[in-house]
Amino acid sequence: MAYNKKEFKRYYPRVGKCLCCCCLSPERSAEVTTFIVLIIMGLGALFEYGIIPYNENNYINSEIAYNNIIRIIDIIPCISLLLLIIGIYSVNRILLNQFKIIFLLFLIYEAVSIVYILKLYFSDKYMNEQFELFKSQYEFNGVNLEGMTYTDEEIKSKVIDSIYSSVTIITVTYLLLIYYYLTTCNFIEDLEEDDVINKNFRALENNK
């Protein structure tokens, strides 16, 4: 019987284990990081979720409905992460591979959302709304509860600082999600490669 060796093709770069769990085995590292991401994203889906701070009284019903749809979409990657954890424990290739597709689509969706958020953040309308919101938080046109006064320029500066802080948090969070995705896909491909190697070894033994 002829022996046909199967070659495994990798689609993701070798990035190793997640640095936050570098002292653990690859399997435990994937489990722990997935648990952490699942908890964080799960809390975001359970509580009133939204990266952009807004006052619902200023929004029409269609925009509120849109935000509700966004919350539903954010549940999907949580389900994918839960299936991934089950797949790691059971070494189920279907449950492992679904993560590659679903979480990738989620990252693409997040990238589009971030572009929209950045466009919104730096729009005159949003800045003016945030200026009025900040200003309304102070009593007597700029005197806060601590008795400090703020000029319009100082309030505008606070608005800009708030926007840049939000942009930084959003960007760092997204980069961490990409890093998590790459490390997890690298782990999944390691399992698949080991499986191919074992099958090749058994096939070689059977042909001796």
> How many distinct structural domains can be found in the chain?
1
Burial pattern 132-149, b for ≥16 Cβ within 10 A else e, equals ebbbeebeeeeeeeeeee
Contact status, residue 80 vs residue 101, Cβ threshold 8 Å = no
Q: Is residue 3 part of a domain?
A: no
Give 47-77 pLDDT, tens digit per residue: 655 444 444 444 444 445 556 666 677 788 9
pLDDT the model gives residue 157: 84
CB-based contacts of 96: which residues, under 8 Å, 6+ apart? 84, 87, 88, 188, 191, 192
Contact status, residue 100 vs residue 188, Cβ threshold 8 Å = yes
Q: From CA 183, how far away is CA 82, in angstroms rounded?
A: 17
pLDDT the model gives residue 142: 46
Q: Is residue 208 part of a domain?
A: no
Contact status, residue 188 vs residue 11, Cβ threshold 8 Å = no
Separation of CA 138 from chain center: 35
Which residue in the block uniquely carries the two structure tokens 């309304």?
A: 136
Q: From CA 74, how far away is CA 69, in angstroms rounded?
A: 9
pLDDT the model gives residue 62: 45
pLDDT the model gives residue 28: 82
What number of residues does the chain have?
208
Residue 117 has pLDDT above 90, yes or no: no
Average pLDDT of every residue of the chain: 77
Q: Is residue 15 part of a domain?
A: no
List C-alpha distances in Å: 118 to 111, 135, 138, 163. Answer: 11, 22, 27, 9
Which residue in the block uniquely carries the two structure tokens 């549940």?
A: 75
Mean pLDDT of 81-94: 89
Is 81 in a helix, a strand, or coil? helix
Q: Is residue 1 part of a domain?
A: no
Residue 137 has pLDDT above 50, yes or no: yes
Contact status, residue 38 vs residue 78, Cβ threshold 8 Å = yes
Q: Which domain holds residue 32?
A: 24-203
Q: Is residue 13 part of a domain?
A: no
Q: Is residue 189 part of a domain?
A: yes
What global pTM score does this model have?
A: 0.76
CB atoms within 10 A of CB 188: 20
Separation of CA 48 from chain center: 17
Residue 134 has pLDDT above 60, yes or no: yes
Residue 36 has pLDDT above 80, yes or no: yes
Q: Is residue 115 part of a domain?
A: yes
First to last CA, the chain: 9
pLDDT the model gives residue 84: 93
Q: Is residue 36 part of a domain?
A: yes
The tokens of 34 are what? 């997935």
**Where does the pLDDT of residue 148 fall: very low under 50, low under 70, confident under 90, or very high at 90 and above?**
low
